[in-house]
Chain A
Amino acid sequence: MAMVAGEIEHLIKAKFPDALISIRDLAGDGDHFAAHVVTSAFKGKTRVQQHQMVYEALGGRMGDALHALALTTALPKD
């Protein structure tokens, strides 16, 4: 079962309203995405925790409906 980029963005945005999100559909098959998420919510969190927060926003779809999401996270630049 594939997901569309807009759905992924919507789910992340719902959890982190200030997030800047860019998503690329890597293979054009709706199954392999790369996402870059920038939000102040990541402040003080380790990289592992930041990724866990995004996975949580995706509500268990990661590793299931979402086979491949290459994820990078960052704090907003001042």
Chain B
Amino acid sequence: MSPQQDVQDWIRKTIAQNDVVLFMKGTGQMPQCGFSSQVAQILGHLGVDYKDINVLDDMGIRDGIKAFANWPTIPQLYVKGEFVGGCDIIREMFQAGELSQLFDEKGISYDKSKMTA
């Protein structure tokens, strides 16, 4: 199996095994890019447990995740194995209350007192 296939398999496994996964630059605690930071802040604000994957640690994942979702940028948020969006979409969904709606639908627990901005 090629290394690219290994990475794709690893991504598939990671988003299957974790309800909420954020591929980002840096970590949830210490984001290293403004766009990643915005999404981490929104998830933090909503009190959602998520797995953060720092793509700066691994070039293979950094490129692999872009191919995986056919999405050219990072961050990327996955909920229950499904790609939800990057920074713009997550921010838009959060502000419209659609993000908490999605978490409700998918059975993801969050702090309901902080549904919108």
Residues on A close to B: CB < 8 A? 47-48, 51-52, 55, 60, 62-64, 68, 70-72
| Contact yes or no, B88 A55, CB < 8 A | no
User: Can you name 5 A-B pairs with beta carbons within 8 Å?
Assistant: A47-B93, A48-B83, A51-B89, A52-B71, A62-B73
Residues on B close to A: CB < 8 A? 35, 66, 70-73, 83-89, 92-93
Q: Which residues of A contact B93 (CB under 8 A)?
A: 47
| Contact yes or no, A63 B66, CB < 8 A | yes
The answer to whether residues A62 and B83 also contact, given A71-B88, A72-B92 and a CB cut-off of 8 A, is no
Q: Which residues of B contact A48 (CB under 8 A)?
A: 71, 83-85, 89
| Closest A-B pairs by Cβ, 8 of them | A63-B72, A62-B72, A63-B73, A71-B88, A47-B89, A55-B72, A70-B88, A48-B85
The answer to whether residues A72 and B88 also contact, given A52-B71, A60-B72, A62-B72 and a CB cut-off of 8 A, is yes
Candidates A47, A55, A62, A68; contact of B92 at CB < 8 Å: A47
* Nearest-neighbor residue (CB-CB) of A70 within chain B: B88
Q: Which residues of A contact B88 (CB under 8 A)?
A: 51, 70-72
Q: Which residues of B contact A72 (CB under 8 A)?
A: 88, 92
Bound-state CA distance A55–B83 (Å) is: 16
Report the minimum CB–CB distance from B22 to chain A (whole Å).
16
Give the one of B83, B87, B89, B93 with max A CB within 10 A.
Answer: B89
